[in-house]
Amino acid sequence: MTPEVLLRGLFAKAVEVADPMRSLPKFLPEKPKGRVLVVGAGKASARMAEAVEAVWGPCEGLVITRFGYGRPCQGIEIALAAHPVPDRAGLDATERMLTMLRGLGPDDFVLALMSGGASALLVAPVEGVSLAEKQAVTAALLASGAPITQMNTVRKHLSRVKGGQLAAAAFPARMLALMISDVPGDDMAFIGSGPTVGDASSVADARAVLQRWQVPVPASVTAALQRASGVVPPGDPCLARVTNRIFAAPRQSLQAAADMARAAGCEVDILGDALEGEARDVAADQARLALTRQASRRPGDPPLILLSGGELTVTRRGDGLGGPNAEFCLALALELRGTPGIHALACDTDGVDGAAEVAGAVVGPQTLAKARGRGADASAALARNDAHGFFGAIEDQVVTGPTLTNVNDFRAIWIASD
């Protein structure tokens, strides 16, 4: 088995373990008696709904997922909307969801299905902020390089549904929220901007994020962040009947990949499942680590695989087509300069890396030489944030299509003895 084949196989295993059809049923209670309403949002939410109905049968409800990520359900309506920048379809579906939740009583039960992507797919701007203005702020945040937790702090305080407000809309009904984590540290308050989870941040915190990352915003947003928002603080009585639970997370996928790598005769070092930072900077750090670890290995040692997860960011400087996983790979290749015996893969487990319908990329000792042979300039591509353009030109992209799950970034570096 070649290093590239193994790396692609490890990524496939990481995705497989997080598939809701496999991972969700064991966390699902018996279907409650009385009225049951299923709601949700995120790139994995339609698959989650499909898994629920496979156990409970047809259900009443509505989930919102990304275009292309729909699944056939028996009773739950699947609404499709745009991601990562929200659109009118998401706005309309969110309003219908809020209408469904209002008026529920204490004997009713709500199952909320949340995964990464809900921040964009659940769209309900605060009073005075239009959809177009919310879109502009979202695009600016995505280009700023701000970590996902800080982006979501802003999103919460500009929303009528995030930061516990979806759960508040359903009160006094009982609610069980089942989540797939795509955030570093698995903090439930930041998965999809925490629609069912209380949050202690303030509008001042949101203003500080915009200032720290120099995010331009329209006057309406500035005004909105001078007023108190509807974000629900932890311990609020309207959250008393909510249970939040994560059923799939990056660490489970990394462990499954590690087990597969060991079965293939490799040594494994898991660097962590919550790495954050600028993609090119993390690539430089991991390139240095890979070179150091390679130099310390003896002839005959088995290959070593370094695994890591988390969510990297890209500060947009150019006009190229890129994403954090492809940019990580491009920067890693430049740092390694064709070093023999080191191969790597970085992909987003949802199958979409940044601005392209591409999961990520693979690199190896021949990456830069192959690029030169095809007239592709790696340094220029990195300067333009055009990692997807670069790997598309040399045919080293990883394309999965919709994976129907989302446990964040997956990175693997294969190291042979020097």
pLDDT digits (tens, 9 = 90+) for 112-142: 999 999 999 999 999 999 999 999 999 999 9
Same domain, yes or no, for 237 and 273?
Answer: no
Instruction: Based on the fold, state whether residues 336 and 406 are members of the same structural domain.
Output: yes
Same domain, 194 and 65: yes
* Residue range 11-15: mean pLDDT, rounded: 98
Q: Tell me: the pLDDT tens digits for 321-354?
A: 999 999 999 999 999 999 999 999 999 999 999 8
Question: What is the β-pairing status of strands 242-248 and 36-41?
Answer: unpaired
Same domain, 290 and 399: yes
Q: Which residues of 320-338 are buried (b: 16+ CB within 10 A; e: fewer)?
A: bbbbbbbbbbbbbbbbbee
pLDDT confidence tier of residue 185, bands split at 50, 70 and 90: confident
In a shared domain, residues 243 and 383? no
Q: Is residue 18 part of a domain?
A: no
Query: Does residue 417 surpass a pLDDT of 80?
Result: no
The three-point CA angle 326-328-330 to 5° equals 70
Tell me the average pLDDT of the chain: 96
Same domain, 137 and 236: yes
Min mean pLDDT across 139-148, 240-249, 279-288 is at 139-148
DSSP readout, 49-100?
HHHHHHHH-S-EEEEEEETT-----SSSEEEEE-SSS--HHHHHHHHHHHHH
Q: Are residues 368 and 232 in the same domain?
A: no
Q: Domain ends where: 248, 268, 297?
A: 248
Q: Does residue 209 register a pLDDT over 70?
A: yes
Residues 65 and 165 in one domain: yes
pTM, to two decimals: 0.93
pLDDT above 90 coverage of the chain, percent: 96
Report DSSP state, residue 353: B
Check: CB of residue 372 under 8 Å from CB of residue 394.
Answer: no
Average pLDDT over residues 296-305: 94
In a domain, 107, yes or no: yes
With respect to residue 25, please indicate whether it lies within any of the assigned structural domains.
Answer: no
Nearest in space to 283 (alpha carbons), one of 168, 378, 177: 378
Report the CATH number that the domain containing residue 122 is assigned in CATH.
3.40.50.10180
* Pair (298, 223) in one structural domain: no
Residues 48 and 115 in one domain: yes
Domain residues for the domain of 82 are 31-248
**Residue where one domain finishes, among candidates 205, 224, 248:** 248
- Identify which of 231, 206, 226 has the alpha carbon closest to the alpha carbon of residue 150: 206
The position carrying tokens 């745009």 is: 82
Please tell me the least confidently modeled range out of 121-125, 246-250, 353-357.
353-357
Given pLDDT bands bounded at 50, 70 and 90, which one contains residue 418?
low
Residue 355 has a pLDDT of: 78
Q: How many domains does the chain have?
A: 2
Structural domain contains residue 17: no
Q: How far apart are CA 156 and CA 38, in angstroms?
A: 22
Last residue of a domain, one of 195, 230, 248: 248
Residue 76: inside a domain:
yes
Whether 182 and 201 map to the same domain: the answer is yes
How far is 354 from 309, CA to CA, in rounded Å?
A: 16
Query: What is the C-alpha separation between 158 and 287, in angstroms, rounded?
Result: 39
